[in-house]
Every structure is written in structure tokens, then in C-alpha cells.
Amino acid sequence: MKCFRHHEIDALGICKNCSKGLCSDCLADLKDGIACKDTCTARVEAINALISSSVTQSRHVLLSLIYCMIGILFGITAYGNSAQGPGGYVFYVPAIIFFGIGVYFFLAPKLANKK
Ligand SMILES: [Zn+2]
Ligand SMILES: [Zn+2]
């Protein structure tokens, strides 16, 4: 494939936004792909930012759910065992810790976005 502006020069890559072939003079090398130097740089940067933030957010929500579930399981165990004696209250400690971590993962991306 040739560069879309310089038809005699081989393209080194394809713009992430408009899929045109770009030579070394025409491409802007961004962290997660390349873009047309003048026209598509801002758009591709916006796309990359959107993708990375939504990926971290869904990963955080998943982790948050897992930790909260473990916390709830410990909570149920603690509730069941505490009926049989004071030793059961020990399970409330990991229940609170795991639930706390879960809440932290849920809130962390929201707090980070406020910056
Ligand atoms: Zn482009
Ligand atoms: Zn070119």
C-alpha cells in the first residue's frame, strides 16, 4: 500500500481513525497506534483515552464485585458461626476487610476521574 498523500511512497502504517495509508512524513506516532499527522491525531488520542478508561473501569467493577461477594460470604459464615459461640465473630474481620476492598475498587475510578 502507498501513502494516501504521496502515491509514490510506501505506507508504513494505517491511521487508526480513517484507515488511510501513511508514510513516515504523514504519520503521527501515538502510544496506541498511528494517525494522520494533522487531521486525526486528536481524534485517535480521544479514542485511546476512551478505550483505556472504560477497560480499567469495567475491570474495577468486576474486582469490586468479587471482593464484595467474598466479603458477603465471610459475613454469612460469621453470622452462622456466631450463633454457636463467640469464636464465630472472628469471621467478621475478613468480611469487613474484603467488603472494604470491594467498595474501594468500586469508588477508586470515580475518585480518580475527579482529578
Ligand atoms: Zn486519519
Ligand atoms: Zn505521505
| Residue range of the domain that includes 8 | 1-39
Task: Compute, in angstroms, the gap from residue 37 CA to the centroid of ligand 1.
Answer: 8
Ligand 1 center to residue 59 CA distance, Å? Answer: 30
58, 103: one domain: yes
* Ligand with the closest atom to the CA of 2: 2
pTM for the full model? 0.58
Distance CA 80, CA 101 (A): 23
Helix (H, G, I), strand (E, B) or coil at 66: helix
Taking the CA of 44 as reference, the closest ligand is 1
**Is residue 45 in some structural domain?**
no
* Cα 9 to ligand 2 centre (Å): 7
- Per-residue pLDDT 10s for the chain (115 aa) are 999 999 999 999 999 999 999 999 999 999 888 999 989 999 999 988 888 888 888 888 999 999 999 999 999 999 888 878 777 788 899 999 999 999 998 888 777 766 5
Q: Domain count of the chain?
A: 2
| 18 CA distance to ligand 1 middle (Å) | 4
Same domain, 81 and 104: yes
- Give the CA distances from residue 115 to residues 46, 59, 111, in Å, rounded to whole numbers and listed in that order: 18, 20, 7
Joined together, the cell numbers standing for residue 110 give: 470515580
70 and 104 fall within a common domain: yes
**Is the same domain home to 63 and 24?**
no
Same domain, 28 and 60: no
